[in-house]
């Protein structure tokens, strides 16, 4: 059985966006982007770690894995702290 301290730690990492302004808030994404994006539904991860988010698609129809737009994104610069991007 998990201790109270362990439960607090689990709860604190379960929502990456807790006490942060998420991508869809900073970027003022329209509701149709929020509805289609996996980022609001996968709150345990940062948006730059999630495959197939709206910003990772290219005009050439890539598979939603292009993280180059993340590197210049205000949200990544604020919360990513220059860490390497690995899609989960």
Rg (C-alpha) for the chain, rounded Å, is 14
Which structure tokens are listed for 18? Answer: 């807790």
Task: Please tell me the predicted confidence (pLDDT) of residue 52.
Answer: 86
In terms of residues, how long is the chain?
A: 88
* Residue range 22-71, pLDDT digits in tens: 888 888 888 888 888 888 888 899 999 998 888 887 666 667 788 988 99
Q: Are 9 and 17 in contact (CB under 8 A)?
A: no
CA–CA separation, 3 vs 7, rounded Å?
A: 6
Q: Are 31 and 37 in contact (CB under 8 A)?
A: no
Tokens 């966006």 belong to residue: 17
Q: What is the pTM of this model?
A: 0.73
């Amino acid at each position: 059985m998990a201790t109270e301290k362990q439960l607090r730690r689990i709860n604190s990492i379960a929502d990456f966006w807790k006490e942060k302004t998420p991508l869809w808030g900073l970027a003022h994404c329209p509701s149709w982007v929020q509805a289609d994006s996996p980022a609001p539904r996968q709150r345990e991860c940062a948006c730059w770690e999630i495959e197939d988010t709206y910003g990772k698609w290219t005009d050439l129809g890539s598979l939603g894995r292009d993280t180059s737009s993340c590197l210049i994104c205000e949200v990544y610069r604020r919360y990513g702290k220059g860490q390497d991007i690995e899609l989960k």
